Amino acid sequence: MSLWTAREIAAATGGIASADFAAEGVTFGSREVGPNDLFLALKGETTNGHRFLDGAFAQGAAGALVSEQTAHPHVEVADTFAALEALGKAARARTAARIIGVTGSVGKTSTKEALFAALDRAQPGEAHRSVKSYNNHTGVPLSLARMPAASRYGVFEMGMNHPGELAHLTTLVRPHVAMVTAIAPAHTAFFPDESAIADAKGEIFRGLEAPEGGRGGVAIVPFDSPHRDRLRAAAEPYAGRIVTFGLDRGADVAALETMRTRTGGTFVTARVGERELSFTVGQPGQHWVSNALGVLAAVDAVGGDLGMAGLALAELGGLQGRGARFLAPVSGGEALVIDESYNANPASMRATLAVLALEPSRKLAVLGEMRELGTKSAAYHAGLAEPILAANAGPLVLVGEAMAPLAEALEGKTDFVHVADAAAARAVLKDMLAPGDAVLIKGSNGVGLSALVAGLKAGTL
């Protein structure tokens, strides 16, 4: 069965179809076009997707959504971005799936992936989720447009770096369950304080709906957060029920006991409402225990299978750029690489340094600067000295100009090299790594440490 027909696309977007065609996928990335995809020719400040139409059809596109004339099979609209939103709304309107929305300063992509794994484990092939980190004004409607009408569950990540963004995205997703994973300093260049970040994240609750329609969905709030009451207040006008999760026993979904496993994960006994459940979290770190409790809260809220969710959490591997682990060849042997290269803020830096601390071998770290932290950037960077020293990490490679305050704070306390960019870090790390080492690689995505990870994986460092 096709995902969209030309007639359905035209009806959803108010466009005019040039021919009959059926699309099995949707993309706006010309390099991602596969056989029978619908290619969205979006226009941006520096790009125009219409330039790539020939290439998209050469790769097998079934049709295109366009706002300019073309000889290829298409649906023509006045504005392709507005049409993308309309297509996303139509996808949401036609499904009877239980919809979960996820946001937070840290952990939202990992939690989204864990939720999908938990739901898919019980109902294989019937769950849908946002891919990668498609969580912004284009990624969210694209993820919705890709959802098959017969899906039983949909899990959508929503991000923001300015007030008001989530308020709009949540009206597209219209979640039955909305979760905030955690509140932490991130994008502080655009917010006066952490409370303002909590307020912006709390916008996700404005789109809550009950499965039968109308308001009254489930809001899931982190109990351990200092902003718990603020988030509850944000949810109360829109939620029929508020559920808390956390390591504290006062949470509705709480960790009663935790014990580290031999493989680095955590064995957890949790209370979910009136029930108890024991399961293993395969990924290391206390932050993953918290993520897992949020997953259980959401699975329970949509009537999913908690036992299968526990099995999925045990099997879940690390994501590329967000905790994936692999052995990299180095001269004379191999070194363990912990890939956290996709993003960084003060909270996620602390969490992953705590994970590095668990490694029994020599612990190296390549730490890229944390961006969008505004006037508090220097203090946030210098504040990483404490978790670095607690982890007994070193030698270190500090990458980027914003790392200067951390370099100053670490002077004389551990071995480090401060370099300008990822290319320089690559050259330094090559001479540092030895067989048996564990190396954490983490920084804001714009620093470009993913290229360093790719070099390690390929053995071309």
Binding site, annotated residues for ATP: 104-110
Find how far residue 284's CA is from the centre of its chain. 17
Q: Who's near 95: CB < 8 A, 6+ residues apart?
A: 147, 148, 149, 150, 151, 154
What sign does the CA torsion over 407, 410, 412, 416 have?
negative
**Lookup: tokens for 375:** 């006037």
Plot region of 181 (φ>0 → left; ψ -120 to 50 → alpha; else → beta): alpha
What single string gives the DSSP state of each residue in 319-356? Answer: BTTBBEEEEEEETTEEEEEEEETT---HHHHHHHHHHH
Give yes or no for a contact between 183 and 198, defined as CB atoms under 8 angstroms apart.
Answer: yes
Burial of 15 (0-12, 13-18, 19+ CB in 10 A): buried
Instruction: Taking each helix axis as running N to C, give the angle between helix 306-315 and helix 286-301, from 0 to 180 degrees, rounded to the nearest 10.
Output: 150
End-to-end, the C-alpha distance of the chain in Å comes to 46
H or E element: which one contains 439?
strand 438-442
Find how far residue 259's CA is from the centre of its chain. 26
Cα separation, 275 vs 96, in Å, equals 28
- Please state whether beta strands 396-399 and 153-157 pair in parallel, antiparallel, or not at all (unpaired): unpaired
Q: Who's near 447: CB < 8 A, 6+ residues apart?
A: 368, 369, 371, 399, 400, 421, 422
**Lookup: tokens for 95:** 């499904």
Nearest CA to 177 among 210, 149, 202? 210
Distance (Å) of CA 18 to CA 1, 65, 72, 197: 21, 11, 8, 46
Give yes or no for a contact between 204 and 170, defined as CB atoms under 8 angstroms apart.
Answer: yes
Residue matched to tokens 């290439």 = 55
Give yes or no for a contact between 321 and 342, defined as CB atoms under 8 angstroms apart.
Answer: yes
Residue set of the binding site: 104-110
Neighbour-count burial for 398-434, b at 16+ CB within 10 Å, e otherwise: bbbebbebbbebbeeebebbbbeebeebbebbeebbe
